[in-house]
Structure 1
Amino acid sequence: MQMSALEDIRKYAPQAEESVVAAMEKTYALALRDADARQVSFSDPAELKTVRDSFVKGKLGVADSDADIDAAIAKVGEQVPGHKQRLTVYYLLAQHYGKLSVFGG
Structure 2
Amino acid sequence: MSQFDDLLVKYKEELGGTRDVSGVDETLLTAITKALGPSIYNDDSSRVSCSDKTELDRVKNNFLIGKMGLADGPDLDAALKEVCEQMGSANRNKYRAIFYYLLVKKLGLEAKYA
TM range, smaller chain: 0.7 to 0.9
> Considering only CA atoms, is the larger Rg found in Structure 1 or Structure 2?
2
Deviation at 1:4, TM superposition (A): 1.4
* Aligned 1:34-45 pairs, distance under 5 A: 34-45=42-53
Deviation at 1:14, TM superposition (A): 5.6
Match of 1:73 in 2: 80
Asked which structure has the greater RCO (Cα within 8 Å, sep 6+), the reply is 1
Match of 1:23 in 2: 31
Gaps of 5+ in 2: 1-5
From 11, 16, 36, the equivalent of 1:10 is: 16
**Percent identity between the two aligned chains:** 31
Gaps of 5+ in 1: none
Q: How well do the aligned residues superpose, as a CA RMSD in angstroms?
A: 2.1
From 97, 100, 106, the equivalent of 1:87 is: 97
Deviation at 1:76, TM superposition (A): 0.6
